[in-house]
Amino acid sequence: QAQSQKHLACGTPRKAAGHHSRTQMAPRAGIRFLLASACARNIAATFIPFADVDELRPRRLHEFCRGEKRGIRVCEYALRKTLDDESDIELSWKMEVDPDRVLSLDAEAEHGVRLRRCEPSLLELELPESHVERTVDGALVVGSRFVHGCEHLAGRQLYHRVRSVLARQPRTGPPSRSPLVHVVRLSTVELASVAHAVPSLRLSFAWTPSEAKALTDFPEMKTDYGLNRHLLASRRETSVKQRRLFSFPKSISKDIGGFSHAGDSNGNFDMKNGVVNLMPKQLSNFGWNWDFFMNTTEEPDFDLHAPGIIGKVKIRQPYIKVHAGIFLNFSSQFEGIASTPKVSWRAGIKGHGRVQARVIGSMNTTSDAGTDPFYAFKLPMFAKYENPTWFNKMDFAAGSFPITMEPGFKCAATMYHRGNFKGAANFGGKTRGWLEPALVYDSVKGFDTEFHGELQETEIWPPMWLMFTRRFEMGVMLKPSLLMKGDFAELQSATMAIEGRPYANITITRGDKLGGADAGSTLMKKLTVYPMRVTGIAGVDFNRKFKVIISANGATLQTTAQINWGSVMYSDNISSFDAGPIPESVLMNTTETKILVTLVEVVGDSMPNTLGHGEVTCPSILNGECQPSPASVVIRKNGNVVASVQLMVLWQDNPASWIFSRVRGMALSFPAVILREDTLTAEYPSVSLPVPGARASQMSMHVVHGGQTYVVELAGTIQSPQSSLAGSKTIELSPSFTDTWKPCAPAAGSVCDSPRLELYMGSMKIATAAVPGIDFTSQTAMQGTSGSGGLLARSGTAMEVPSEIALLAPGGGKAIAIASLRARAVPILGSSLFLEPSGPAVVGLSSAERLRWTVAGVDRSRTYVFSMEACRLQHQTAQSAIAFTSMRKVRNQVLVPIAASRQTFRGRCTSSPGASADTSPCFFEHDFYFSEGRGLHQADQVVVRISWKDGSITQTHEMYSPALKVSSGRRLQAAEASASGVPAEAAEASKAGLSPRRLWSQSAWNARVDAHGQGCDRKDLRFQMGAGMLVRGKVDSIDVP
């Protein structure tokens, strides 16, 4: 009955039925008051600090503060404690705060403080008269997730600053005690984190289990993480009183479970204890397929059915085990309510681990999957753990302020193979070492990753084999991720991750041993040296053209002559750059094998002028591509740098499909640009800035790529302290090599500009940033996995890559803006593309030229409205800089729109007559008039800008034609790539990719074995093995408060 009354008192008050006299109500009021106080004490007791260490609970700040004066004081505390299981807890903090203006729901619950109502901007409290002064304007009300019960906070801590007192109503308790209780209703501001609450805070927290202290293979299990409690209890002597690290309230189950210690016969985790109940202390003994109770492992089997391969894989004695603790170092500086706090933190784990496995595989490949190692098909070992799994939260407090860390993990495994193979092989290895991965955050500089560690006693077990292959490559990569969330992180709803990528691969080659030559020296493959572009040439002139001459492997190769339009782009026939077969060892001999590059200028009908020479070698090969890729060749003449040539150097029998996988159309947009007004004001104090509430009409984002600048105007309203703006259009770029979006090689110097963003306010550049590396290497994601993939695939196989980019003030200043760049990569014939003209061309004055183009993601049933106008290339002067800021640029010249040339076209797309709708692009066509009456003149160099809207009232799409030169007569010539260039070869590659996959018949396989009988007798297989680990930091679901 008492429990029932207590439950009722802690719940929503109920109206009593009927009418009662005052004498009847008074006892009930007293009972309600006493029960409310009991309820408050019960809530305070439910704060469960990490490891049940009482010193980690929220406490009154006064006992930690220096001096007796009122106002801001320095408060600090330090704790170092060794628990019964020999694990160490460390907590230290120092803050500047007014302790008289902090009301802790946790620490003051025993004194009668209770939260009655909670909303984002309103709190209603019940508190004794002694605590009323703590609810004045500007005071802080804080409470842990255990005590506040606010539904909208969803398990987060409560931090509120009092804006004003809306109402205060005293209530008298029972006559025997006559306590005066006040019900106070407050108008408040909900704060994002503790960093917004106190002027300054420095905090360090660490937990180190005994298992993580010594680098030994089998540390004694001493840490109680729930699942192992029965084992630890059995080890204790019966004469010793049992003391657990966790003391649970009666209302909470002690059987909270833990992560399983072993895998079953399929390599999966034992789910009987529930993964959702992972304890943070599981990090002391954390692993896969390892029994920490028996110190042994199991040997799972996997049936492998992946693209192009079937077989069975047995992994002998595989395991991963880690013994680690967790740490957090945090600091914040908050200068005022109107400013943004400066926050920095470093969080991670520290400990040691061990991994080993021997892979025994029996496989039969049905085709060469040709899969990118970094985007390979998944293995079933960790299928259930590809989505994040979170440990229980770790709760502790800095004085009155509760803080939560929530670690988690996820894991996956992938495999790739290239080449054909039948037979069996096994290989493996093991290693151990200490590790300290950490995520680092600075609110000014952004995120970074640190990884410290050392591998020791690494062993590689050499392979044994029985197989048939000419060349086969296979690799396995694990993808473990340590995840972190917490209210300290400053980014709401964000998940931080430290991602590891340990990998191992093996390459099997077969070659003749004639004359004692090594197999690698006789394995021949085709050498292709394909020039992509030339950068660094000044001036834009249709009469000046440039071509690249290459000498490699005894062959002389050359491009067609092309104009310089910011850079010189090539799209010649791939077969023109076949340098013939070459052994791998010869190609990688950098002393003897050099690729010579010559840059030639062609002006009209005059003799070619050699601008300079350069050379490149191939020191290493990864997946048939010489590294580094792309190769940048600096062209010099008389010691002076003239230009840079970017090459793709391939050692492959079928280079066409590889090259086509690197050609994509692009669509760039900026869905959000966060402008930091306080930083902007600090960096440019003497500049007149837009006032809050004004439209951001002067703000624009400039994308600089390949010597050309594209401008996106930003729309939105200026706010304080930060403004949320958005780009008003999407820039549709014609297909080009995705490698041109990589940063320029350092050796190229000033003759190559890396892709970058520039933020302008009017004509003044206020911030800039390099475009981060956009990953276009996934053939599966980029080409699709169906038969209709490849170059001819449409927009259905597009890949959208979002990037968050911090733009800094020029000269390495502070971050002024955060831009969300959305890059959408589309296969060629699914992109926005000019089909006619398909390259730089000469057009006739007073003539109508047929333009033909495609639109990415086109709706064949829709009528589009296009606005078309010519833009003339002209020099920019200092006087016209302001007027030209919003215009697209080619090097130091601008493209000025010609208003008189503007035309409007309405229509639907159409396909070529007789062509299949599935393989032929749906294009638009229109006659564009070039005449003096429309503002065009002889010798003008122009482009045609086409813009349209696609289902959005505010968002405009914009694309540009290739460069055009206006001639006095009829159309004279086209300076474009031949019709046998990329699209035609792409069709052949796509067609070749449709060959059916099927297993060998027995008779066919026997015939194949007989054909290679001599080679089998020679035993001429050669193996190469490699292993390593990649580490990076990653942040998902950022929501800036």
User: Does the structure show a pLDDT above 60 at 1008?
Assistant: no
Predicted local distance difference test score (pLDDT) of residue 999? 43
Is 20 strand, coil or helix?
Answer: coil
Contact indicator for 358, 462 with CB cutoff of 8 Å: no
User: Does the structure show a pLDDT above 60 at 139?
Assistant: yes
pLDDT band at 363 (very low <50, low <70, confident <90, very high): low
Q: Which range is least confidently modeled, 8-17, 314-323, 444-453, 529-538?
A: 8-17
User: Does the structure show a pLDDT above 50 at 698?
Assistant: yes
CA 721 to chain centre: 27
User: Does the structure show a pLDDT above 80 at 359?
Assistant: no
pLDDT mean over 430-434 = 83
Strand partners for 386: none
pLDDT band at 302 (very low <50, low <70, confident <90, very high): low
DSSP classification of residue 606: S
User: Does the structure show a pLDDT above 70 at 3?
Assistant: no
Higher pLDDT, 225 or 104: 104
Predicted local distance difference test score (pLDDT) of residue 554? 84
pLDDT band at 304 (very low <50, low <70, confident <90, very high): low
Q: Over 873-894, what HEC string results?
A: EEECCCCCHHHHCCCCEECCEE
Give the Cα-Cα-Cα angle 66, 139, 160 (nearest 5 degrees): 120
Is 516 strand, coil or helix?
Answer: helix
pLDDT band at 179 (very low <50, low <70, confident <90, very high): low
What distance in Å separates the CA atoms of residue 854 and residue 836, rounded to the nearest whole number? Answer: 10
Write out pLDDT tens, residues 276-286: 334 666 677 77
Which residues lie closer than 8 Å to 598 by C-beta, 6 or more apart?
548, 549, 550, 551, 610, 612, 613
User: Does the structure show a pLDDT above 80 at 377?
Assistant: no
Structure tokens belonging to residue 528: 């292709």
pTM of the model: 0.50
User: Does the structure show a pLDDT above 50 at 23?
Assistant: no
> Is the bond preceding residue 502 a cis peptide, omega within 30 degrees?
no
User: Does the structure show a pLDDT above 70 at 69?
Assistant: yes
> Is the bond preceding residue 170 a cis peptide, omega within 30 degrees?
no
Contact indicator for 439, 192 with CB cutoff of 8 Å: no
The percent of residues above 70 in pLDDT, for the chain, comes to 71
User: Does the structure show a pLDDT above 90 at 524?
Assistant: no
Predicted local distance difference test score (pLDDT) of residue 468? 66
Higher pLDDT, 383 or 952: 383
pLDDT band at 97 (very low <50, low <70, confident <90, very high): very high
- Please give the C-alpha separations between residue 943 and each of 27, 525, 839, 882, in angstroms, as whole numbers: 89, 42, 11, 22
Predicted local distance difference test score (pLDDT) of residue 202? 94
Sheet holding 102-104, edge to edge: 102-104, 140-143, 158-172, 180-190, 122-128, 114-119
Which residues lie closer than 8 Å to 384 by C-beta, 6 or more apart?
268, 269
Higher pLDDT, 296 or 740: 740
Is 132 strand, coil or helix?
Answer: helix
User: Does the structure show a pLDDT above 60 at 24?
Assistant: no
Nearest alpha-carbon partner for 597 in 526, 663, 670, 646: 646
Write out pLDDT tens, residues 618-645: 999 988 899 888 999 999 999 899 999 9
What distance in Å separates the CA atoms of residue 391 and residue 209, rounded to the nearest whole number? Answer: 16
What distance in Å separates the CA atoms of residue 814 and residue 379, rounded to the nearest whole number? Answer: 44
Higher pLDDT, 153 or 232: 153
| Exposed / middle / buried, residue 637 (Cβ in 10 Å: 0-12, 13-18, 19+) | middle
pLDDT mean over 566-584 = 89
Contact indicator for 601, 607 with CB cutoff of 8 Å: no
DSSP classification of residue 978: -
User: Does the structure show a pLDDT above 60 at 788?
Assistant: no
- E strand or H helix that includes residue 503: strand 495-510
Which residues lie closer than 8 Å to 912 by C-beta, 6 or more apart?
920
Q: DSSP letters of 379-420? A: PGGGGGGSS-EEPPPEEEEETTEEEEEEEEEE--EEEEEEE-
Predicted local distance difference test score (pLDDT) of residue 22? 35
Whose structure tokens read 């204890």? 273
Write out pLDDT tens, residues 925-983: 999 999 999 999 999 999 999 999 876 666 899 999 999 999 876 544 444 333 333 33
DSSP alpha helices (H): ranges in 787-939?
881-884
Contact indicator for 193, 159 with CB cutoff of 8 Å: yes
Pairing of strands 729-737, 956-960: parallel
CB crowding 129-142: b at 16 or more within 10 Å, else e: eebbebbeeebbbb
Structure tokens belonging to residue 397: 């407090």
Is 357 strand, coil or helix?
Answer: strand
Strand partners for 487: none
How many residues would you count in the chain?
1041
Predicted local distance difference test score (pLDDT) of residue 955? 80
- E strand or H helix that includes residue 586: helix 584-587
pLDDT band at 458 (very low <50, low <70, confident <90, very high): confident
Q: Which range is least confidently modeled, 134-138, 662-666, 917-921?
A: 917-921
- E strand or H helix that includes residue 872: strand 864-875
Q: Over 667-714, what HEC string results?
A: EEEEEEEEEEHHHHHHHCCCCCCCCCCCECCCEEEEEEECCEEEEEEE
Predicted local distance difference test score (pLDDT) of residue 755? 92
- Please give the C-alpha separations between residue 835 and each of 785, 831, 850, 863, 923, in angstroms, as whole numbers: 27, 11, 10, 20, 8
pLDDT band at 515 (very low <50, low <70, confident <90, very high): very low
Predicted local distance difference test score (pLDDT) of residue 794? 42
Q: Is 877 left (phi over 0), alpha (psi -120 to 50) or beta?
A: beta
Predicted local distance difference test score (pLDDT) of residue 448? 81
Write out pLDDT tens, residues 796-823: 467 888 888 999 988 777 889 999 999 9
Higher pLDDT, 469 or 212: 212
Mean pLDDT estimate for the chain:
76
Predicted local distance difference test score (pLDDT) of residue 77? 94
What distance in Å separates the CA atoms of residue 736 and residue 567, rounded to the nearest whole number? Answer: 12
What distance in Å separates the CA atoms of residue 748 and residue 824, rounded to the nearest whole number? Answer: 28
For residue 273, the one-letter residue type is: N
- E strand or H helix that includes residue 987: helix 982-992
Pairing of strands 841-844, 964-967: parallel
End-to-end CA distance of the chain: 46
pLDDT band at 10 (very low <50, low <70, confident <90, very high): very low
Higher pLDDT, 284 or 2: 284
- E strand or H helix that includes residue 91: strand 88-97
What distance in Å separates the CA atoms of residue 392 and residue 52, rounded to the nearest whole number? Answer: 13
pLDDT mean over 642-670 = 90
Contact indicator for 926, 868 with CB cutoff of 8 Å: yes
What distance in Å separates the CA atoms of residue 320 and residue 322, rounded to the nearest whole number? Answer: 7
Predicted local distance difference test score (pLDDT) of residue 671? 93
Higher pLDDT, 538 or 1004: 538
What distance in Å separates the CA atoms of residue 816 and residue 819, rounded to the nearest whole number? Answer: 10
Which residues lie closer than 8 Å to 665 by C-beta, 6 or more apart?
732, 733, 734, 735, 825, 826, 827, 828, 830, 831, 832, 833, 856
pLDDT mean over 513-535 = 68
Write out pLDDT tens, residues 526-562: 899 999 999 999 888 888 899 999 999 888 899 999 9
Predicted local distance difference test score (pLDDT) of residue 228? 64
Cα-based torsion angle of the residue sequence 848, 849, 850, 856 in order, rounded to the nearest 10 degrees: -120
* Phi, psi values for residue 827, rounded to 5°: -55, 155
What distance in Å separates the CA atoms of residue 838 and residue 833, rounded to the nearest whole number? Answer: 8
Predicted local distance difference test score (pLDDT) of residue 494? 66
Which residues lie closer than 8 Å to 282 by C-beta, 6 or more apart?
225, 227, 258, 259, 391
Contact indicator for 540, 591 with CB cutoff of 8 Å: no
User: Does the structure show a pLDDT above 50 at 516?
Assistant: no
DSSP alpha helices (H): ranges in 651-730?
655-660, 677-683
Write out pLDDT tens, residues 706-763: 999 999 999 888 887 888 899 999 999 999 998 888 888 887 778 888 899 999 988 8
Write out pLDDT tens, residues 669-690: 999 999 988 888 888 888 777 7
